[in-house]
Amino acid sequence: MAAACLMLLWGNDLFAQTVSQSALMRQALRYGNLKLSVADGRINTAGSQPRSYSTRNSNSAGRRESFQLRSINGRPQLLYELSTTKDKLTLSISGNDKVLFKRALTDKGKEDKKRAVEFEFSQKPGEPVRMTVGGEGEDRKVQTGETLWHLLMRDSEPLEEHVLPLLVMLRPGWRLMELADEAEAKLLVLARAGDLPNHNRWQALLDQLSDDSYARREAADRQLRQGGESALRFLRELDFYSLDAEQQFRVKRMINSMSARTVDDDADEIAARLSGDPAIWLILLSRDQEATRTIAAERLSTLLGKSIDFDPAADEKTRQRQIERLGKQLAVPAKKRKNSG
């Protein structure tokens, strides 16, 4: 299944076909027991207990391949490298939150430039997810986002072409693009129904954590946990030492537990988590449907607490200029996703 997915997505790129047909990779993954997930929008291996495994092979045509999987201090470490006379691919997963997928061209002849593209996908603890396409001195395109979902909703094409096939190889059957689309649809449903969390609600629940009633404190704790990324962002931005002892205890416990999720995100969780993020609604201003742009503009205005300079009914060039200005004001990159709707 993984090989078929890779060949379908990477087309006639001979190097990619070499990866997809790697018997070494398939054997290593079957034996190694590595489990990938996307939790809180970030790729991780939490919960994996991989077997140590190391293997390599090479041939006279200059093809070299190696795979190493081990556990260091209880955290999985994976390193896969494939080199030919023209290309080198590196897949590195270290711990629960450090990922690097990189393809470098070692022979940049004219013929290869028509088909092969250098890219690098990186995820580091405490930093945005980053996607770069193109090598040094070329027309490089760089995207960053707080989570993988931000990148998929902003401009999915680079990830669909270069990164998702590798993730499908590591976890066959993974449908991340479909999940991002489903989450976006649910975001719009929540917005139409007016059922989106806001800062005032989180503040009211925070105040309730100090209530004399244990039941009311527990209810507020539970509702904050259910608020996902929006509530977590609110909690992280609090002045911790201005809280009373009960609030400090509960807020610290919530941040630790909400930050340590290891199960796969589902569409409902993604939508709830992203609903309070201005960056997501800025992205949705670029959608083709005017109704979607209108909802996104209204939601962004609500989050910012002021009217924004954006006309959902304006022509595309005007809208793009307005989005670019808003992006600069918010320090958020805005790019239209291919075939967005």
State mean pLDDT over 184-190.
93
Considering the chain, what percentage of its residues have pLDDT values greater than 90? 43
Of the listed ranges 23-27, 199-203, 238-242, 321-325, the least confidently predicted one is: 23-27
- By the 8 A CB rule, do 309 and 326 touch? yes
Q: Residue 119 falls within a domain, yes or no?
A: yes
Which residue has tokens 């993974």?
174
Full domain range(s) for residue 110: 2-174
Q: Residue 232 falls within a domain, yes or no?
A: no
Interval 209-238: pLDDT, tens: 999 999 999 999 998 987 776 788 789 888
Q: Which two tokens stand for residue 318?
A: 């005007």
Q: Which two tokens stand for residue 325?
A: 């200005």
**pTM reported for the whole predicted model:** 0.77
Q: Residue 24 falls within a domain, yes or no?
A: yes
For residue 158, the model assigns a pLDDT of 92
Cα–Cα distance measured from residue 46 to residue 214, given in angstroms and rounded to the nearest whole number = 33
Cα–Cα distance measured from residue 92 to residue 166, given in angstroms and rounded to the nearest whole number = 11
Whether the predicted pLDDT of 91 surpasses 80:
yes
Q: Confidence class of residue 7 from pLDDT cuts 50, 70 and 90? A: very low
For residue 337, the model assigns a pLDDT of 46
Q: How open is the CA angle 280-285-287, to the nearest 5 degrees?
A: 105
Radius of gyration over alpha carbons of the chain, in Å? 22
Q: Residue 321 falls within a domain, yes or no?
A: no
- By the 8 A CB rule, do 29 and 170 touch? yes
- By the 8 A CB rule, do 82 and 57 touch? no
Q: Residue 163 falls within a domain, yes or no?
A: yes
Of the listed ranges 5-14, 237-246, 252-261, the least confidently predicted one is: 5-14
Q: Which two tokens stand for residue 194?
A: 């007016």
Q: Residue 70 falls within a domain, yes or no?
A: yes
- By the 8 A CB rule, do 225 and 257 touch? yes
Cα-Cα-Cα-Cα torsion 213, 215, 218, 222, nearest 10 degrees, comes to -130
Q: Residue 101 falls within a domain, yes or no?
A: yes
- Total structural domains in the chain? 1
3-state SS assignment for residue 318: helix
For residue 201, the model assigns a pLDDT of 83
Q: Residue 139 falls within a domain, yes or no?
A: yes
Cα–Cα distance measured from residue 118 to residue 136, given in angstroms and rounded to the nearest whole number = 9
Whether the predicted pLDDT of 63 surpasses 90:
no
